[in-house]
Amino acid sequence: MSEIFVLDACALIALINKEDGAEIIEDVLKRAQAGNVSIIMNKLNFLEVYYDLYRSYGEEVADKLIRNINKPPIVIHSELSDTVFKEAGRLKASYKISIADSIALGEAIVSGGQLLTSDHHEFDLIEKSEDIKFYWIR
């Protein structure tokens, strides 16, 4: 089985805006296009990217970028499995994090993947307390 990366909204936004760490995400995307790794993202986290783009650039730009991103090698999970649901609920109850962050973490736990993120503010405490793999972009 190939290595799995779970894409957090902040990582994808960093790529789109060419922020620090974008080169790390580009490398993971190239590895995924070559078939060496898998990239998944929950649709709720994808929604965070859409509304950020919509707010920053307007509907037309957001729609265009989302069409370009919503295709392989990124696989968008449109459904919330029961196991991700329960993990996300447990994490949300245990830590002061958003629903979207709890779902990204749940996806990482259930898939056995690494959460591709830059969100130290939300996840540093969780990294110390939980058995979740993080792949920090900065």
> What are the tens digits of pLDDT across the range 59-97?
999 999 889 988 899 999 999 999 999 999 999 999 999
Largest Cα separation within the chain, whole Å, is 41
Q: Would you say 119 and 2 are in contact if contact means Cβ atoms under 8 Å apart?
A: no
Cβ neighbours around 14 below 10 Å, total: 22
From the CA atom positions of the chain, what is the Rg in Å? 14
CATH number at residue 49: 3.40.50.1010
Whole domain around residue 88: which residue ranges? 3-136
Tokens of 110: 């259930």
Q: Global pTM? A: 0.94
Structural contact between residues 25 and 116, judged by C-beta atoms closer than 8 angstroms? yes
Is pLDDT above 80 for 1?
A: no
Report CA-CA distances (Å) from 68 to 16, 62, 74. 11, 10, 10
pLDDT in tens, 19-32: 999 999 999 999 99
Number of domains present in the structure of the chain: 1
Q: Quick one: pLDDT at residue 65?
A: 87
